[in-house]
Amino acid sequence: MTATVPSTSLADAAAAAFRDHLAGRPERMGDLVDLVTPALWAVARSAGLSPAEAEDTVQNAWLKLVQSSASIRDPQTVLAWLLTTVRRDAWRARRQQRATAPEPEFLVATDDPENEAVERDTGRTLWGHVQRLSPRCQALLRVVAHAQTPDYAGISAALGMPVGSIGPTRGRCLAALRTSLAADPSWSW
């Protein structure tokens, strides 16, 4: 069961689930995992980790939370605590494997090899242009692309960016991406 409340921010919903967990309702930890994992995953992937590395980083953050839950005095900070833990672990992992740049993985569901090749080339071109953007734009576009719903409070916490600057920054990043793609003769969309 996912504990989502439409009028509640991700931080508030996470705090409520964690508070309930601490109060003796262990099933609420599952709700917290369901609520926050997509944002944690997006932060790990925005650091350039492969899916397997991102999965390890996110699982490690949950393990650290279980081990440290008694030390978190204010449940309202649990989302920020998790995001910070993932961000730091992802940066650490990325520094360790920086010597080899990961090839983005593309999921292509087709029985047509020619179509699959075109989609893979298109994906490589697109993500190649995304990688040319500033690190801030890369992180923002990846988090927004992987978020189920745009929760600006969660994005703000994940990226350390003021809520009011997310929309304008996203617009500038997308404009820069469009300009870069338009100048690429291999881009035909």
CA distances from 119 to 107, 111, 123, 178, 187 (A): 9, 12, 6, 18, 12
Percent of the chain with pLDDT over 90: 21
Whole-number pLDDT of residue 101: 47
List for the chain the helix, strand, coil content (%; round to 5): 70, 0, 30
Task: Sort 86 into a burial class: Cβ within 10 Å, 0-12 / 13-18 / 19+.
Answer: buried
Model confidence at 123, pLDDT cuts 50, 70, 90, reads confident
Model confidence at 5, pLDDT cuts 50, 70, 90, reads very low
Which of 49, 21, 56 lies closest to 35, judged by CA? 21
Does the structure show a pLDDT above 50 at 6? no
Domains of the chain: 1-102 (1.10.1740), 109-189 (1.10.10.10)
Does the structure show a pLDDT above 50 at 4? no
13-27, 71-85, 137-151, 174-188: range with lowest mean pLDDT: 137-151
Does the structure show a pLDDT above 80 at 151? no
Whole-number pLDDT of residue 20: 93
13-17, 53-57, 77-81, 135-139: range with lowest mean pLDDT: 135-139
24-38, 40-54, 60-74: range with lowest mean pLDDT: 40-54
Does the structure show a pLDDT above 50 at 102? no
Question: SS3 string of 133-158?
Answer: CCHHHHHHHHHHHHCCCCCHHHHHHH
Query: CA angle, 74 as apex, 71 and 76 as ends, to 5°?
Result: 130
Model confidence at 147, pLDDT cuts 50, 70, 90, reads low
The amino acid occupying position 83 is L
